[in-house]
Structure 1
């Protein structure tokens, strides 16, 4: 039964530190249905582990006990804050995202071995329960061939079985989620056994961005909804193409979330869209946060065929491809028209607040957000405050 659209966001543990830190308390939780906490690491034997224990459970925020006067073994950091969000917003689900670009090579040997797959699945479920989360998200970028694709199917099967076994053993009438960050481009998506994966996957987070970048020889839209006949070299891929491919293989549309980037991709020394360029700049490898765009002196442009935004500076000859509230509005309408499951954002740090927020635009336009309940009871957690349900908070 349809219970509303999903509006999800990736929230990173490394984003909680540094001069431009984004804290878990800043998440716009009233506009979200799912938070995917990224990323957990993977040991050689398959054990899923924290990539930053201090950010996860050690960092003290305001109103946490700074002097360890509270007895017991407690989770602090982002984990505590995410649990508090769940407790105050009972339709908000949190997931442990494992892998990501940096840790993806570690999937290869683990997924290839039955024992390590079981270790991976059991340890991921344990960390999920320790943290008080509602599921697991796998982000393997990307299986390289048919053999690795089959290993991915077996890894998902092991995770689904571990999640169901966990619910059965603890008498929990709750289906913990298993989601996948999946590729939109044919180079990677065509290597996956999507029909084989689908029985184990609750949500497909379609990474509908990075369609172009420093690896291409022309500028282009990095997250366009459609191809543009007027700018074919700038729209070599499209979100609509990717959605149709998944649906054509039998993936139910209501399980697909389309990704929206909260960053832009820069191209320097170019005369415009679909043209040659020379470099992407030293700032972030050409990746710029949406909240800093458009840059001073740049004009924001609109491609009505592709339903995509970009900016161009005539003086510096810099072009930046990025999403805006206008392009996000069209994506939300596309979700509704195609009866997709919703959308997700990579990642929380880049968005603006207020009317210019991409998350807010998506939430308002989708209208009916997922009303399925989260789970709060984790008597098996190693952390006392999670196990006790964060009393008094």
Structure 2
């Protein structure tokens, strides 16, 4: 574990949170010659960055057509131009810094019914209209070449999707930052952010004075900025990992070693790990409650997809928090002139957080056009405040889950 901060220091950039948003921003700025200090309350990748499903999924939790409808064609066009950049940034970091994270190419969206397959046809047309290539529609027979299950009515292969070891990626990014002269303090919660011509971040045993601060704690701000936390809600997702599977079983389940997510509102997602385990995730617990038995929530879904895995041992199970916004779009903004924040990727954090790093670093360097597109999106608090946001959101999830079950 890296040391905690026990001094009063000055730097160009202070970043709160050592996840993908923090590491991407830190790397972009360090590459441009800035002095960067990162404060992490726990360990690098402790939150969603180290515990996610490890899938490169393009665009946002709300797709470009939703953005066009609600915020106008110009905003849709601007965000559409950035919707596929996060995966490219991630791959550049892996290549430039030789990060060993089992990166593999290709992701499949799997349709559980004909309605979802029609929606995938629309997604393909939408993404291609915004310049995204490498998409292939798969009918009910073709998808079996990618997923060894009878569960699906078809799918969409995104050849620019992919999967990787999520914790190893963020650890590799941290090592890359340190190779460029950046400093990371672990076990150092930020207790207060003071605005001013120079911002000051106070910790238990020290402080950082910086020209700019980025707050990138996402679902783990723990009371640091209450007004910011009121705009989003922590949610938990669950993941299990089987014992290593025989190679013949791996080939049967996922013949081309793609990652998969289905098209349900409460979706399932899965992939093979570098050592041949099936990693299977899904489900949502609103309000970040810890489920008592993760296996009981996820194993039935896994067996519905792959019944031949009945009796397979589950070696690991975990949960972690992501941050949901009311509109399911990320929230970027400034507090004063020099305190930036990015949060609320609503389940699409892997690619969007890496994009955020570039967008925020560009803004700090004086090129704020892309940042201002995101910052211009309305940021609503959940109706009813903290007391009612969980039941309201859970009711909405119940409705959409029922639609998925009925196929309407």
Q: What is the TM-score of this pair, normalised by structure 1?
A: 0.26
Q: What is the TM-score of this pair, normalised by structure 2?
A: 0.25
More strand by share: 2
Structure with the bigger RCO (C-alpha within 8 Å, sep 6+) is: 2
